[in-house]
Amino acid sequence: MAKEPVRVLVTGAAGQIGYALVPMIARGIMLGADQPVILHMLDIPPAAEALNGVKMELIDAAFPLLKGVVATTDAVEGCTGVNVAVMVGGFPRKEGMERKDVMTKNVSIYKSQATALEKHAAPNCKVLVVANPANTNALILKEFAPSIPEKNITCLTRLDHNRALGQISERLSVPVSDVKNVIIWGNHSSSQYPDVNHAKVQASAGEKPVRELVKNDEYLNGEFITTVQQRGAAIIKARKLSSALSAASSACDHIRDWVLGTPEGTFVSMGVYSDGSYDVPAGLIYSFPVTCRNGEWSIVQGLPIDEMSRKKMDLTAEELKEEKDLAYSCLS
């Protein structure tokens, strides 16, 4: 029996990330090679013509799994019946703008999109927020979509996680598929903490800790962390545009692991609603190591945290508390 199609919403679908993401979804990279999809693409009215062009290309690509395309500038039409929502659309920070200005714009965008999802999405819709400030946008969305379970609202730190895997793979000259269990703690910003203390590499004699193989704590506690934290800025400098291909690919990884499960013995990083684990203040959307089974994520418990890690985890939590306060001040 063929599976029923899953409706996947991508907001900001005519933008750079959206343009990279929709063919990946249509090809089965997000939900599996046997899962038909109906794509819902939502964007703002000035992008309507470009959005229609993307729809034409999706039709022209003749993806066997793609069972329909909704391209719209109407949030209600875009959100109706969706099972998975990938929120890529947001207001980017422009030169000369204060953080509060950007936050005010994003608060109003996420408030209205949350309202549309709340009223029109399928029950148990899974939401992934990609647009920055991703953690805080997800928190606002949660606030205004109270019927969507808090476990179903997440933000993307898988891009940072994948960047960390990539750096270790390059450093050790091993395939990236042999590296696992790096952790991104905290905010999807330059305050995040990329942690290799629990990371392992598959070697011929079995799994070895990353620290043991790299044999350079100065690098792992310094340059490695700043490289991952500032990778987005480095790509903007090189491309003159922000990360699109890698962001789209990571969004697929995030949803695929969430829906289909993480491999045994492997954890990944997801921005999720904190329950107080690892002494992270409850009520923030914070990136933790998680495993996924049967469409549910769980925070990996009981990992030992050293003093340096504790400081860095607290620092990024502090930034998230400030962002949360700023966002709530924009609401009033």
Distance CA 206, CA 9 (A): 41
* 188 catalytic per annotation: yes
Annotated binding site: 12-18, 43, 93, 99, 106, 130-132, 163
In our burial notation (b when 16+ CB lie closer than 10 A, e otherwise), range 250-271 reads: bbbbbbbbbbebbeeeebbbbb
List binding-site positions for NAD(+).
Answer: 12-18, 43, 106, 130-132
d(CA 82, CA 25): 14
- Cis bond upstream, residue 175 (ω within 30): no
284: Cβ contacts below 8 Å, ≥ 6 apart = 135, 139, 273, 274, 317, 320, 321, 324
Catalytic residue among 40, 161, 188, 198: 188
DSSP strand pairing (179-180 vs 153-155) = unpaired
CA-to-CA distance for 100 and 329, rounded, in angstroms? 9
DSSP symbols for 107-138: HHHHHHHHHHHHHHSPTT-EEEE-SSSHHHHH
Question: Which residue shows structure tokens 């502090």?
Answer: 318
Distance CA 200, CA 34 (A): 31
Q: What residues form the annotated binding site for substrate?
A: 93, 99, 132, 163
Which residues are known to be catalytic? 188
